[in-house]
Amino acid sequence: MSKPNSYPNYIDGEWISSDRQFLNVNPADSDDCVGIFHKATRADVDSAAEAARKAFPAWAALASPARGAYLYKVADILERNLDELAQEMTREEGKTLPEAKGETMRSVNIFRYFAGEASRIPGIQVPSERDRVFMYAVRRPLGVVAQINPWNFPSAIPAWKLAPALVAGNTVLVKPATAAPLCGWRLAEACHKAGIPRGVVNLICGSGSEVGDAMVEAGPVKAISFTGSVPVGQTIHAKASARRLRIQLEMGGKNPTILLADADLDKAVANTVNAAMFSTGQKCTATSRVIVEDGVHDEFLERVVAATRALRVGNGLEPGVDVGPAIDQAQLDTNDRYCQLAEREGAKLECGGRVLTEGPLAKGFFFEPTVFSGVTEDMRIAQEEVFGPVLGVMCASDFDDCMRIANKTEFGLSASIQTRDVSRIFEYINGIEAGLITVNLPSAGVEYQLPFGGSKESSFGPKEQGPVALDFYTDFKTVYLGY
């Protein structure tokens, strides 16, 4: 096997090596090393923050369509390399190749979308009460912003943070997750190749406790955008608030799909399996609870178990594989632990529930797609995020009971309902406590043109994506002009 490539950090327009490195290993195949990454030091983070501070005035002074032109170039570079980038994503994160292609294309679309926003960045202009006064407010960038990313959408999430920050005129420190840093590295490389001036984009790899923490502490940083788990989000929030940094947190979920008795059952089964099992259940918007109206419960259970059993687990590079590996040993152990816990709590294991080690699967972190029935609202499997291909089926007496159970969680990221009843659909839209809601679709699978984010413990601060993404990355300057 050829020697893996080495990936240094990107600071002030230069590729900076470090003598401390870490391996990015394929979660489907421990023999496959995707790359050797350089661990940044706290001093590297500080020099990246200083480079971003120095680069800010000139970048902010560009006309925003000129910044948009760079973003179009980034999108073109990514699109030209789509197949290779998708392969790398599957190798480092484990999702299937079609999923990886879809995500890479989404990053291309995100860069194009925000490139287009460059020529539409809206201000406010209203009439004054006074004669001969012209009053308006324009958006201004914040300065240096820090972005801390998870591993599960290793390209799209860094893209949906980076593109709006840049187009608004900020300079950026990007930290990809240690478990899947290459896709983020490729975005930085594309920014470099597109000719974005030095210091505007800086990419720093290394652990959250060291590099992430140093980003939150770095003097020039004005805002932190974080996506990841609730505990880490809370730690960052406490630190960032003490420094009065602007902050945006997107975190976990325990997302419900409600299934009413009148639904199209074929579609409901397909939507539930899609949302629960695809991407190995490692989507923040994945369905982990399906709340089923009594009358259709038994038939649905039988069919969802059959559909889950039919899924093919394996290396996502192989055609025909539906479900790839868990990201790492820790996540595999978490899946296993929660399945054992659910059984101890009295849920019934209908299928799955095992770590898979047969043949080539022994080289990866594979877990059998799992369905539990008899899950009740106070069980930990009904309340805590597992982040694996594990679905709990819950039985409810009627629509109101479905809604009560669905809302009985600290989280509020996504939710779905499967029904043909228009009145119920609107009651659900009005009453469900979640930021992203779907009807007769999977709970996961959102687009970039509308706001993205949750409610309750899942999220904090302004939403990401769509035109409102600019709210987090800008401030208003208000002008009263007498003439």
User: Residue 366 in contact with residue 356, Cβ under 8 Å?
Assistant: yes
β-pairing, 144-148 vs 221-227, is: parallel
Among 77, 97, 413, 434, binds ligand NAP (CB under 6 A): 413
CA distance 93 to 292: 32
Please choose which of Mg ion, ligand NAP, none residue 235 contacts, taking the beta carbon within 5 to 8 angstroms, the exact cut-off set by kind. ligand NAP
Among 8, 9, 11, 24, binds Mg ion (CB under 5 A): 24
Please choose which of ligand NAP, Mg ion, none residue 251 contacts, taking the beta carbon within 5 to 8 angstroms, the exact cut-off set by kind. ligand NAP
Site string for ligand NAP, 310-349 (x = CB under 6 A): ----------------------------------------
Among 144, 236, 323, 375, binds ligand NAP (CB under 6 A): 236
Q: Minimal CA–CA distance to 446: which of 175, 157, 249, 183?
A: 157
Shortest spacing between CB 213 and Mg ion, in angstroms: 21
Shortest spacing between CB 102 and ligand NAP, in angstroms: 16
Q: For ligand NAP, how many residues bind (rule: CB under 6 A)? A: 32
CA distance 29 to 406: 37
Length of the chain, in residues: 483
Please choose which of Mg ion, ligand NAP, none residue 171 contacts, taking the beta carbon within 5 to 8 angstroms, the exact cut-off set by kind. none
Q: Which is nearer to Mg ion, 353 or 364 (CB)?
A: 364
- By CB under 5 A, tell whether 92 contacts Mg ion: yes
The number of beta carbons lying within 10 Å of the beta carbon of residue 28 is: 27
- The span from the first CA to the last CA of the chain, in angstroms, equals 73
Tokens of 191: 């920014």
Q: Which is nearer to Mg ion, 281 or 412 (CB)?
A: 281
| Strand ranges (E), 8-95 | 9-11, 14-16, 21-25, 33-38
Among 154, 169, 184, 212, binds ligand NAP (CB under 6 A): 212
Grouping H, G, I as helix, E, B as strand and the rest as coil, residue 456 is: strand
Provide the 8-state DSSP code for 205.
Answer: -
Q: For Mg ion, how many residues bind (rule: CB under 5 A)? A: 2
| Strand ranges (E), 59-112 | none
- By CB under 6 A, tell whether 149 contacts ligand NAP: yes
Among 5, 209, 329, 397, binds ligand NAP (CB under 6 A): 209
Shortest spacing between CB 218 and ligand NAP, in angstroms: 12
Q: Which is nearer to ligand NAP, 148 or 326 (CB)?
A: 148
What contacts 318, CB < 8 A, 6 or more positions away?
A: none
User: Residue 311 in contact with residue 277, Cβ under 8 Å?
Assistant: yes
Grouping H, G, I as helix, E, B as strand and the rest as coil, residue 6 is: strand
- By CB under 6 A, tell whether 178 contacts ligand NAP: yes
Active-site residue flag, 284: yes
- By CB under 6 A, tell whether 251 contacts ligand NAP: yes
Active-site annotation holder among 183, 191, 284, 402: 284
Active-site annotation holder among 250, 293, 368, 464: 250
Grouping H, G, I as helix, E, B as strand and the rest as coil, residue 29 is: coil
Provide the 8-state DSSP code for 375.
Answer: -
- By CB under 6 A, tell whether 284 contacts ligand NAP: yes
CA distance 425 to 369: 29
- By CB under 6 A, tell whether 208 contacts ligand NAP: yes
Tokens of 413: 């990221």
Please choose which of ligand NAP, Mg ion, none residue 152 contacts, taking the beta carbon within 5 to 8 angstroms, the exact cut-off set by kind. ligand NAP
111: buried, middle or exposed (CB in 10 Å: 19+, 13-18, 0-12)?
buried
Shortest spacing between CB 104 and Mg ion, in angstroms: 16
CA atoms within 13 A on the CB side of 189: 13
User: Which part of the chain contacts ligand NAP (CB under 6 A), choosing from 194-202, 232-240, 293-301, 419-427?
Assistant: 232-240
Q: Which is nearer to Mg ion, 150 or 392 (CB)?
A: 150
Provide the 8-state DSSP code for 4.
Answer: P
Q: Minimal CA–CA distance to 296: which of 218, 208, 397, 372?
A: 397
User: Residue 307 in contact with residue 299, Cβ under 8 Å?
Assistant: no
Phi, psi of 29 (to 5 degrees): -160, 100
Active-site residue flag, 250: yes
Among 18, 21, 235, 383, binds ligand NAP (CB under 6 A): 235
- By CB under 6 A, tell whether 229 contacts ligand NAP: yes
Please choose which of Mg ion, ligand NAP, none residue 24 contacts, taking the beta carbon within 5 to 8 angstroms, the exact cut-off set by kind. Mg ion
- Residues marked as catalytic: 250, 284
Where do contacts with ligand NAP occur on this chain (CB under 6 A)?
148-153, 175, 177-179, 207-209, 212-213, 216, 227-229, 232, 235-236, 250-253, 284, 385, 387, 413, 454, 458
